[in-house]
Chains A and B, each alone.
Chain A
Amino acid sequence: MREKSSSPKSSTIDQILDLLLDALLERQAARQAQAEQPDTVPTPKPSVPPSPIEEATTGPLAASEAPVMEPTTEERQPPVKSARRSQKSQHRRPRPGEEGWTPPPKQPSIHLGRTMGRLLVILVALMALINIPLNRHGTSLARIMPDTAALVIRDGLVVKGSGPEIYALEDNRLRWISSLEAFEFFDYHWEQVHIVDDDFLDEFEMGPPIHVLLKCQGSPHIYALESSKKRWIKDIPTFVAEGYVWEDVKGVSCSYLRDLPDGPPIPDDAGPPPEP
């Protein structure tokens, strides 16, 4: 059927293919001659892969089972793409670790170990340098930048706005630390206090204030210290209702308690506070 349809145009194509094949055979012969020359240095082959058609003519597989290059009968020509794919997979260079792969020659030493050692020494020296305290507060070069860092908002964060009040964050609520004694009693430190914008404080609702509770040995009464004033806690149910625990009670001398001015009692309608 194909014989029938052959035309002058197809014969021109045949001629072109013949010429192409001749050129390829010449190249192959040249390559073979080059390959037969003894190698002096076992360097790996250049990474440019041979073209599929070259591979078809050079490879042992091509010789045995690829009739691709028979130009006289068009029917024998396999589809170019599939031939290319199969030959590519069979003729690709072996990867490291695969059979037939040879490692490249060993590189000469560039004394990288010594360089690494020097780098280590320099970095250790730099580390020591940036960690040396520069002032009496112990601030070092590594921590000298102003604290513009984003705050990690979590329970126990201590913040202060433009006013004198200091707050501790608990359960997403700000709790006012009501006195310096409370600040110290609950083991807060000045380094923990972060100055923030008032807008930041406004984002949180207020929780109950953090009081330190005072009691002297000769008196049964307990007082909450708030803004340097003692507030009498009326009775145990009030104590419990306010959420206080016995661990919050700090023992002080009765004279110290007596010297503190009275604030409003807890609750407000508890009446006049007794003397400690």
Chain B
Amino acid sequence: MKDLAVIENILRNRHHFFIEIRDGIGLQEKIRAMLISCIAFLALYGAVMGSTHSLWQTLSSAVKLPLLFLATLIVCTPTLYFFNVLFGSNQSMTQNVAVIITAITVTAVILLSFAPITMFFLLTTSHYQFFKLLNVAIFAIAGIAGVVFLSQGMRMVAASGNEGAGARRWLLYLWIIVYAFVGSQMAWTLRPFIGAPSMQFELFRQLGGNFYTNIFASIGEILGFVTVR
């Protein structure tokens, strides 16, 4: 419960929080508290998503959703860090990780706040494609909020090194796009998170297709243009 207090610091005193990261104050404690919070929130939201299919899917999604975010973090952080260093940043890797985990924590908090809504639709509709697109929309909203935080955090944490600040800002925007692509591909690799009603539980589904074509196909099916094959 004590670790959850970090959420208040992030949401209400974000400037001070980022300044502390910039000054390297209590980095390890912050990272630990944020990791615990975001894993708990993401696991719970994952469980809500998987509940529509089966108990196994519930448990599987509860594990896979935090894994998705952490794996994406591990894959993408070195790129941001080394490019930042290349363009004159004097942040440490830990500071970079702390800022990115802050963004993930914000995303997780927003997802948790949407959990009752997701649960409501889970209990009142069983249209798989609708439920899938609803979750894509929720993840998009939560992701945008996280990215805004990341952008603010990076600007503040990098404030001490002004050399190449403009280049680093553009680099961050590009990195966010890369992060989104890696994240969506990671999600596609770790799917299913909801579990198609016509299929038995599977921990991982065979690869093939991609996230974007599937989303367009789902929209097409809801509008009655195509059937997802």
Q: Enumerate chain A interface residues (CB-CB to B < 8 A).
A: 95-99, 103-104, 106-107, 109-114, 116-117, 119-120, 123-124, 126-127, 130-131, 140-143, 145-154, 156-157, 189, 191-192, 194
Contact = CB atoms under 8 A, between A and B. Distances in A.
A135 to B, nearest CB: 14
Given A96-B155, A97-B156, A143-B54, A149 B127 contact: yes
Interface residues of B, number: 56
A152 B198 contact: yes
B53 A116 contact: no
A156 B200 CA distance: 10
B7 A112 contact: yes
Given A96-B152, A96-B156, A113-B7, A152 B115 contact: no
A141 B3 CA distance: 32
25 contacts: A97-B155, A97-B157, A99-B162, A104-B15, A110-B8, A112-B4, A112-B5, A112-B12, A113-B8, A116-B7, A116-B112, A117-B1, A131-B58, A140-B55, A142-B52, A145-B124, A145-B126, A146-B126, A149-B128, A150-B221, A151-B198, A152-B196, A154-B198, A156-B199, A192-B198
Given A113-B5, A123-B44, A153-B227, A95 B155 contact: yes
Contacts of A107: 12-13
A106 B112 contact: no
Contacts of B18: 97
The main secondary structure of chain B at its interface with chain A is helix
A196 to B, nearest CB: 10
B171 interface: no
B12 A142 contact: no
Interface of B: 1-8, 11-13, 15-16, 18-19, 37, 40-41, 44, 47-48, 51-55, 58, 109, 112, 115-116, 119, 122-129, 152, 155-159, 162, 196-200, 221, 227-229
Given A116-B109, A127-B44, 15 more contacts: A96-B155, A97-B157, A117-B4, A119-B112, A123-B119, A130-B51, A130-B123, A142-B51, A142-B122, A143-B51, A149-B197, A150-B128, A151-B198, A153-B228, A157-B198
The 9 closest A-B pairs by CB, nearest first: A113-B5, A112-B8, A145-B126, A97-B159, A103-B15, A149-B128, A97-B156, A113-B4, A142-B51
A104 B122 CA distance: 41
B16 A106 contact: yes
Contacts of B54: 143
A263 B108 CA distance: 63
Nearest to A107: B12
Given A107-B12, A112-B12, A119-B112, A192 B200 contact: yes
A120 B129 CA distance: 27
A152 B217 CA distance: 11
A241 B21 CA distance: 71
A150 B127 contact: yes
Given A97-B156, A142-B123, A143-B54, A152 B128 contact: yes
Contact of B127 (A148, A154, A156, A192): A148
Contacts of B128: 149-150, 152
B52 A143 contact: yes
A111 B2 CA distance: 11
Nearest to B218: A150
Given A106-B16, A141-B123, A113 B2 contact: yes
Contacts of A98: 159
A127 B152 contact: no
B200 to A, nearest CB: 7
A131 B51 contact: yes
Contacts of B3: 113
A130 B125 CA distance: 14
A153 B229 contact: yes
B8 A123 contact: no
B32 to A, nearest CB: 15
A113 B37 CA distance: 10
A36 B190 CA distance: 62
B115 A103 contact: no
Given A103-B15, A112-B12, A130-B51, A150 B129 contact: yes
Nearest to A103: B15
A104 to B, nearest CB: 7
Nearest to B128: A149
Nearest to B15: A103
Contact of A124 (B37, B44, B122, B123): B44
